[in-house]
Amino acid sequence: MSSFAPTSSNGQVSTKESYKKFDKENAEFFKGVVNIPFKPDAGPTESLVYKHYNAKEVVLGKNMEEWLRFSVCFWHTFRGTGADPFGFPTLDRPWDDGSNSLDNAKRRLRAAFEFFTKLGVKYWAFHDRDIAPEGKDLAESNKNLDEIVELAAELQKQTGVKLLWATCNLFSHPRYMNGASTNPDAHVFAYAAAQVKKGLDVALKLGAENYVFWGGREGFHSLLNTNVRSELDHMATFFRLAIAYKKKIGFKGVFLIEPKPKEPSKHQYDYDAMTVIGFLRTYGLANEIKLNIEPNHTTLAGHAYEHDIVMASAFNMLGSVDANTGSPDLGWDTDQFPMDIKNATLLMQVILKQGGLQPGGLNFDCKVRRESTELKDMFIAHIGAMDTFARGLKLAARIQEDNILSQAVEERYSSYKSGIGAQIEAGTTSLEELEEFILSNGEPARISGQQEHYESILNYYI
């Protein structure tokens, strides 16, 4: 959330006069870009068309729009500046004057809904501080948020775009430098709780289908000054308070936790899917909260791209996906648009198997590269990612319909369907009985895992 003013193509800081044209109610922010069409015969250089994503095309009984439930994140797409730890902003958004004013926030929001409409997505997602400026105190911050939420509600009604999920930014402000719900200062815990209360009120008003908790600073940098059990106990208390308020106000959305192993903390308590599932089960919260998986975070944890998606789904805890990717060779969270067909196919296999993501979706928690400075790059990035997942969906559907991979996996575990294996599966055997089985049947055979065979099958489809 930079205070830098955008610059024009000649490097000069734009003047306030240049933004006045965007204050008109009928202002067009993306001139020259029409609603993105589906054009399957488009050539390789035609970037402002869908070549694979056809919203109404039916795949395994549902249309693509239902399977994929695409969402645009507000924070990267409309608050991103192209700045990174090594360089100043590079992205000039002609409607954005770089200020934290309510007028500027309203322009951004109107630009966003034009973008959603032209792109043809049905959902968006935001943090509270993305859409409205923080005030001098909580009361002023809430007042600012109320004013912007009124406009958001009006724009949602006009366009039919819905809120996939809302969340609160409990990590950027200096008050949260030592965490929010895990902060050693109870005053900070209370402030975070008050902010979430307002966030849930907003989520209810805008009809959010989910509410996400990302513990950006819920972790530690040193164990020398940290009581980990105390911090985890407090975090569980925080979730219980949020659940109680959710029920009190009648918010029906799903609560989601988004795992991440590191950044900005050295170690974060929501390290990966299994860590979060273990936390939720330990504190009796597993029936109240599911997971929002971001594959870029999964690879930061040292896992394969699809790992946390598979693990969360296996325990019926996969609620939504922040669809992005990273560059493992760089080693930090780069939030790139997902353009890898194989990764998309592996992810969509899981989603098809569990019957979809509803009420979750595929939220593009992605930012254009700081070198991609044209407004049309915003569209091209999303279109490319949406086409990637459309192809992944169709390939995953073929794999499921052919049933070759799933049959092979089932056969690999077939020894658990009868005899001693069925007793193990049912939990009706004992160590003594298993010892007797080995004494009678001897050494087990070596059965090939055939990894290369499975990889070859997948490559046949890709």
In this prediction, residue 16 has a pLDDT band, given cuts at 50, 70 and 90, of low
Stretch 75-96: mean pLDDT: 95
Judge whether 219 and 179 are in contact, CB under 8 Å: yes
Q: Is 127 a catalytic residue?
A: yes
pLDDT in tens, 124-151: 999 999 999 999 999 999 999 999 999 9
Give the Å distances, CA to CA, from 459 to 27, 395, 404, 425: 48, 11, 13, 33
**Share of residues in the chain with pLDDT > 70 (%):** 96
Residue 13 pLDDT greater than 60, yes or no: no
Residue 193 pLDDT greater than 80, yes or no: yes
Residue 23 pLDDT greater than 70, yes or no: yes
Stretch 12-38: mean pLDDT: 82
DSSP 109: H
Give SS3 for 46: coil
Strand pairing category for 289-293 and 58-59: unpaired
Which pLDDT does position 159 carry in this prediction? 98
Q: Which of 52, 127, 234, 303 is catalytic?
A: 127
Stretch 422-437: mean pLDDT: 98
pLDDT in tens, 235-254: 999 999 999 999 999 999 99
Residue 276 pLDDT greater than 50, yes or no: yes
Mean of the per-residue pLDDT values of the chain: 95
| Token pair listed for 179 | 């965490």
Cα-Cα-Cα-Cα dihedral sign, residues 376, 379, 382, 383: negative
pLDDT in tens, 349-403: 999 999 999 999 999 999 999 999 999 999 999 999 999 999 999 999 999 999 9
Which of 294, 52, 257 has its CA nearest to residue 170? 257
In this prediction, residue 182 has a pLDDT band, given cuts at 50, 70 and 90, of very high
**Share of residues in the chain with pLDDT > 90 (%):** 93
Q: Considering the entire predicted model, what is its pTM?
A: 0.94
Q: Output 8 or 453, whichever has higher pLDDT.
A: 453
Q: Backbone phi, then psi, for 455, in 5-degree steps?
A: -65, -40
pLDDT in tens, 34-68: 999 999 999 999 999 999 999 999 999 999 999 99
Name beta bridge partners: 63. 58
Which pLDDT does position 17 carry in this prediction? 64
Which pLDDT does position 329 carry in this prediction? 87
